[in-house]
C-alpha cells in the first residue's frame, strides 16, 4: 500500500467508518464506500491538509475511485 | 378529517438528561433528588458570572457510533438517543412509513456547530468550513435525523417556541394524529447549547443563577433563595399512537394524551405576565379539552424554572385554575435536578409526568429549604409522594420567552 493510499484510507475511515482494509484502489467513493457529495467535500478538505495539495471543485468529479484520487494527489505533490 | 374524539396514547418513552442517560436512570434520579448540575471545567468559562450547568450524565459518544456522531450537532445526537429509546420501548410498531410522523422540537438548534464553524472561518478561511454545518445548525435537523432513522414519511415538524418547544411538539403530534395525517408520531424536544456565548447571553438578561460555589443547590424552584434558572442540556421523546392502532397491536400503554392548551401572553418578550393570565388560560383550555375538572388533577409537573418572577406567576395561574382543589394536587419542579433543558424541557418533563401518573408517585422538588410563602402550592419536596389511585389526570406546564404557554394533560388508562 502506497503512503498516499494509506493516508487516504485513514481519511475515508474517519469520515465514513469503512474498515481500512476495504479501502482499495478500485473502489468507487460513491458506490462502494458510502461517500455522498457532502462527505466527499470532507475527504477533499482532509486530503488537502494531509498531503499539502490543492484539489479544485472542477477536479473532484473526475476522482471516481480511490485510485483516481491517489494518482491525482501523487501527480500534484 | 379532524376528529377531536380520536384518542391518542403514549406507548414509548425515551430520555437522556443530566440526571441519567435513559428513562429508568433519569426517573430514579428524579425520585431521589439527584442533581445533574455540575461545574463547567473548560477555561473559557473562567471569567463568566456563571460557571455551571446541567450537563448530560452520559456523553453521546458512549452510546453512539463515532462515524454517525461526527455528522451530527450535539442536540441531534441527544434527540436520536432519546428517540431510539422511545421507539424500542414502544416495541417498534410496524407501520406504513406514510402513516408515521415526527414532531421534534428545539429552542435554539445547532448553535454550537455554527459557532465552531465560525471559529474555523476566522482561523482557516471558508474552504475549511464543514459541509455538514448547515444540516447541523438548522433547527429542524434533529427532527429530520429522527425521521430518517425511523423512515417517517407522514411529515416532519419542528415547532420553535423557546422553552415551550418540547411541549408544543407533543401538542403538534396529538393534532397530527387527530387530524388523520398519521397513526404514529414520535414527538419530543432536544437542546444542547451550553457554550460561553449562550451562558453570557442568558446571564446578560440576569436570568441565570450565579450560585457558583454550590451548583447542585443552584436550581431551587419555590425556595426563597432562588436566584435564576440553571442551563441544562438533554432530550426527551414519546411515541404517540392512535388508541386504535395501539390496541390492534396489543401495545403497552402508559397514558392517554388527553389534550393540549396553547396560548400567548401578549405581555413582554421575555418576562412572564405577573398574573400568569396566559398560563392560566392554557391550563383551562387543556382541562376543557380533556373534559376534566380540577378535582381530577392529581399532579402537576410545573415549569418552575427557579426564577424569582416566573415561579410566582405560574403559581398564581395554577391557584386561579384549580381553586379549592389546589391543596390536593402534588406539584413537582424537576428542573431543580435537571436544570432547564430549554427546548428539551417540555418533553423530558412530560416523560416525568407520565411516569408519575403511571406509577402513581410524584418526583421531588430538590433544594426546597425555605419555601417562599407567596407560592402557596402543595409542593412535593424531601421524599417522593404517593398519588391516589383511580381515574385521574396530570398536567405538564411549559412556557417560553416570547410569551408562549403550553399545558399538556395526560389521563390514566
Is position B2 within any domain?
no
In whole angstroms, what is the distance from residue B164 CA to residue B169 CA? 9
From the list A17, A38, A48, which residue is nearest B131 (CB)?
A: A38
DSSP A7-48: HHHHHHHHHH---GGG--TT-BHHHHH---HHHHHHHHHHHH
User: Is B222:B364 a contact under the CB 8 Å cutoff?
Assistant: no
What pLDDT does A77 receive?
81
Q: What is the pLDDT of residues B232-246, one digit of tens each?
A: 999 999 999 999 999
What pLDDT does B93 receive?
85
Residues B226 and B305 in one domain: no
Residues B191 and B318 in one domain: no
In whole angstroms, what is the distance from residue B71 CA to residue B272 CA? 38
Q: At B394, is the pLDDT very low, low, confident or very high (cuts 50, 70, 90)?
A: very high
Contacts of B128 in chain A (CB under 8 A): 45
Known catalytic residues of B are 163, 303, 340
Boundary (domain end) residue, out of B248, B273, B304: B248
Is position B65 within any domain?
yes
Q: What is the pLDDT of residues B167-202, one digit of tens each?
A: 999 999 999 999 999 999 999 999 999 999 999 999
DSSP B269-325: SSSPPTT-HHHHHHHHHHHHHHT--GGGEEEEE----S-HHHHHHHHHHHHHHHGGG
Boundary (domain end) residue, out of B248, B280, B295: B248
What pLDDT does A1 receive?
67
Any B CB within 8 A of A42 CB: yes
B279: domain CATH number is 3.40.47.10
Is position B308 within any domain?
yes
Residues B224 and B349 in one domain: no
What pLDDT does B335 receive?
98
| Contact criterion met (CB < 8 Å) for A42 and B128 | no
Topology given in CATH for the domain delimited by A3-76: 1.10.1200
From the list A16, A38, A48, which residue is nearest B67 (CB)?
A: A16
Nearest CA in chain A to B67: A17
- Number of structural domains (chain B) is 2
Any B CB within 8 A of A41 CB: yes
Residue B370 has pLDDT above 60, yes or no: yes
> Once rounded to an integer, what is the mean pLDDT over residues B79-102?
97
In whole angstroms, what is the distance from residue B39 CA to residue B52 CA? 4
Which residue bears the cell 414532531? B103
Contacts of B132 in chain A (CB under 8 A): 38, 42
Q: At B84, is the pLDDT very low, low, confident or very high (cuts 50, 70, 90)?
A: very high
What pLDDT does B161 receive?
97
What pLDDT does B1 receive?
54
Contacts A–B by Cβ distance under 8 A = 17
Is position B253 within any domain?
no
* Domain with B369 in it: 260-411
Is position B254 within any domain?
no
Residues B101 and B162 in one domain: yes
In whole angstroms, what is the distance from residue B339 CA to residue B326 CA? 25
pTM > 0.95: yes or no: yes
- Average pLDDT for chain B: 97
Amino acid at each position: 500500500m502506497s503512503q498516499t493510499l494509506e493516508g487516504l484510507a485513514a481519511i475515508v475511515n474517519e469520515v465514513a467508518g469503512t474498515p481500512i482494509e476495504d479501502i482499495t484502489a478500485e473502489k468507487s467513493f460513491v458506490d462502494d464506500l458510502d461517500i455522498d457529495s457532502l462527505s466527499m467535500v470532507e475527504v477533499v478538505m482532509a486530503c488537502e491538509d494531509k498531503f499539502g495539495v490543492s484539489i479544485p471543485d472542477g477536479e473532484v468529479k473526475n476522482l471516481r475511485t480511490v485510485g483516481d484520487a491517489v494518482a491525482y494527489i501523487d501527480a500534484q505533490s | 378529517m379532524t376528529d377531536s374524539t380520536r384518542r391518542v396514547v403514549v406507548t414509548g418513552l425515551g430520555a437522556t438528561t443530566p440526571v441519567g442517560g435513559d428513562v429508568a436512570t433519569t426517573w430514579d434520579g428524579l425520585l431521589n433528588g439527584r442533581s445533574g448540575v455540575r461545574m463547567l471545567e473548560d477555561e473559557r468559562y473562567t471569567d463568566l458570572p456563571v460557571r455551571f450547568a446541567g450537563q448530560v450524565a452520559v456523553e453521546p459518544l458512549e452510546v453512539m457510533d463515532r462515524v454517525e456522531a461526527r455528522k451530527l450537532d450535539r442536540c441531534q445526537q441527544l434527540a436520536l438517543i432519546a428517540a431510539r429509546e422511545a421507539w424500542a420501548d414502544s416495541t417498534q410498531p410496524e407501520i406504513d412509513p406514510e402513516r408515521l410522523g415526527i414532531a421534534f422540537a428545539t429552542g435554539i438548534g445547532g448553535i454550537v456547530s455554527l459557532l465552531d464553524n465560525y471559529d474555523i472561518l476566522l482561523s482557516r478561511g471558508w474552504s475549511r468550513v464543514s459541509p455538514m454545518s448547515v444540516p447541523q445548525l438548522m433547527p429542524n435537523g434533529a427532527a429530520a435525523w429522527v425521521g430518517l432513522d425511523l423512515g417517517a414519511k407522514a411529515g416532519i415538524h419542528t415547532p420553535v417556541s423557546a422553552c415551550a418547544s418540547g411541549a408544543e411538539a407533543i401538542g403538534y403530534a396529538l393534532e397530527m394524529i387527530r387530524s388523520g395525517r398519521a397513526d404514529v408520531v414520535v414527538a419530543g424536544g432536544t437542546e444542547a447549547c451550553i457554550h460561553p456565548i449562550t451562558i453570557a447571553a442568558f446571564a446578560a438578561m440576569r436570568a441565570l443563577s450565579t450560585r457558583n460555589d454550590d451548583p447542585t443547590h443552584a436550581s431551587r424552584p419555590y425556595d426563597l433563595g432562588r436566584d435564576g434558572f440553571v442551563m441544562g442540556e438533554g432530550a426527551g421523546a414519546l411515541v404517540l399512537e392512535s388508541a386504535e392502532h395501539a390496541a390492534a397491536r396489543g401495545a403497552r400503554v402508559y397514558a392517554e394524551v388527553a389534550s393540549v392548551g396553547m396560548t400567548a401572553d401578549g405581555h413582554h418578550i421575555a418576562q412572564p405576565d405577573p398574573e400568569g393570565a396566559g398560563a392560566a388560560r392554557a391550563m383551562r383550555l387543556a382541562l376543557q379539552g380533556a373534559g376534566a375538572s380540577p378535582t381530577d388533577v392529581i399532579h402537576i409537573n410545573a415549569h418552575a424554572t427557579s426564577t424569582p418572577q416566573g415561579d410566582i406567576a405560574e403559581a398564581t395561574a395554577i391557584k386561579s385554575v384549580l381553586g379549592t382543589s389546589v391543596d390536593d394536587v402534588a406539584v413537582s419542579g424537576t428542573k431543580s435536578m435537571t436544570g432547564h433543558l430549554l427546548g428539551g424541557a417540555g418533553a423530558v418533563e412530560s416523560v416525568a409526568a407520565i411516569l408519575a401518573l403511571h406509577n402513581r408517585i410524584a418526583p421531588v422538588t430538590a433544594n426546597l429549604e425555605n419555601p417562599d410563602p407567596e407560592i402557596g402550592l402543595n409542593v412535593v419536596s424531601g421524599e417522593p409522594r404517593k398519588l391516589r389511585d383511580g381515574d385521574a389526570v396530570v398536567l405538564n406546564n411549559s412556557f417560553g420567552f416570547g410569551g408562549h404557554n403550553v399545558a399538556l394533560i395526560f389521563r390514566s388508562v
